[in-house]
Amino acid sequence: MENYSKEQQQQQSLKPLVVMMPSPGKGHVIPLIELYKKLTKNHDLGVTIIIPSNDPPTAEETTMLRNINHIFLPPVPLSDLPSTPKVELLISHTIHHSLPSIRRALQSIASTGRVTAFVVDLFGTEAFDISSELNIPSYIFFTTTAMLLSFLFQLPRWEETPCEFDDSTELIQIPGCVPIHIEDLADGFKDDEILNAMIQHAKRFKLAQGIIENSFLELEPDTIKELQNVKPGRPPIYPVGPLANMVNDQTKLHGNNNDHACLRWLDEQPRGSVLFVCFGSGGTLSSTQIDELALGLEMSEQRFLWVIKSPNDKDSSGSFFNVNNNILNDPLNFLPKGFVERTKGKGLLVSNWAPQAQVLAHESIGGFLTHCGWNSVLESVVNGVPLITWPLYAEQKMNAVLITRDMKVGLRPKIGEEGLVEREEIGIVVKMLMEGEEGKKLRHRMKELKEAAIEVVGENGSSTKQIEDLALMWKKG
């Protein structure tokens, strides 16, 4: 170290630290916590998660971050936003107005150690200016599919040749992916304000030292191979997935949620006989669609466990930032008359929340009707549970295409003329998944992906190796 100044020598001797920043929303925080666990358990790295928000932390968030070194940044006001902003704009607004707090947090952490990496997710690229000023290398943690990442690399070209969306049946060609219809693009790409914001984020990707992708080669082989081709302006891609809550036998026996009524109910059901119905922490259905879903589940004659929230006739992401607004006083008062009595014994309704990871790991679960959030998809993969896709918002339609046409582990119900998935269609698709030959094929394919997922996160697995490479690089700093 003789060529270093005294100050540089002191800096080099400090413990390497990594700062990670998710976007607001539970779905963005969960996979980052899983990465945190791997970095702190297996590598000599100090890690801190800083969390922007527009509300004080909830009890659930505080519990989720127990034993995690974290900082909740001061909530930012939403007074200059519309009363019902789109999720993407709300997230971007929160990050933008949190920049002064992000700067203070980074400076404070840097005063205690040697910050060798600042890891943000897709919506956090505006903070790259701060990390650059502080000479901290920046990385992107991409919480969703390699398909969407590949698409976003193409997005800046749309400023020069805008794509017309309305009434179009053209296919979008995404490098390394199956072609998708324009109608299946993430909803935000059809909104000029959101599209412009996403283009600005995509332009900043080249400023990152690397992009950490929450997927793995066997799940999206062609896409990840394409992304790992060296190209100008494209940072190295590190596929580290599946970063998901993997429930092992010890967790099943001693987990904190083992006393949940739904798990006790599942214990009494035949193996592989129950359809789990859940639309994530943010997804909501209209009153009419809830009626159709209830009656469709009844028509299928299959066992089901349904995590049910209050209807929202305006916004399919109605509980993304308003979880408490969907707490049910009476979870049965908006269901079809007689439904609860007629399905008693075969169905169980759970208000607002269930321990999803443990439910999907339960041997009684034979299928999952899901909104296609990527965390939910990965939790299904690691447990070998085939899917019925019911995308609601954000990139979930793109995920549904990936699940059904590329991964081939799910069925997608048709939408009727009134814009609803109708009861007859629901009944047919549920029965097909749970009892039909098509369901058996999907189950076999999902079993193969489960085995691949277990292998890649094992001691010598490819995802484990990618995390080891990152950790070694960050320790050297």
3-state SS assignment for residue 339 = helix
What token pair was written down for 401?
Answer: 């295409």
DSSP characters over 260-276 = -HHHHHHHTSPTT-EEE
Does 28 qualify as catalytic in the annotation? yes
Q: Which of 28, 70, 201, 362 is catalytic?
A: 28
d(C-alpha 291, C-alpha 337), whole Å: 10
**Residue of 70, 93, 121, 315 with catalytic role:** 121
What is residue 16's three-state secondary structure? Answer: strand
Distance CA(238)–CA(139), nearest Å, equals 11
Percentages of the chain per state (helix, strand, coil), in multiples of 5: 45, 15, 40
Give the integer Cα–Cα distance in Å for 386 and 433. Answer: 8
Beta strands across the sheet bearing 114-121: 70-72, 46-51, 16-21, 114-121, 138-142, 211-213, 237-239
3-state secondary structure of 50: strand
Alpha-carbon distance 247 to 258, whole Å? Answer: 12
Is 93 assigned a catalytic role?
A: no
What DSSP string runs through 99-138? Answer: HHHHHHHHHHHHTTSEEEEEEEEGGGGGGHHHHHHTT--E
Q: Which residues are catalytic?
A: 28, 121
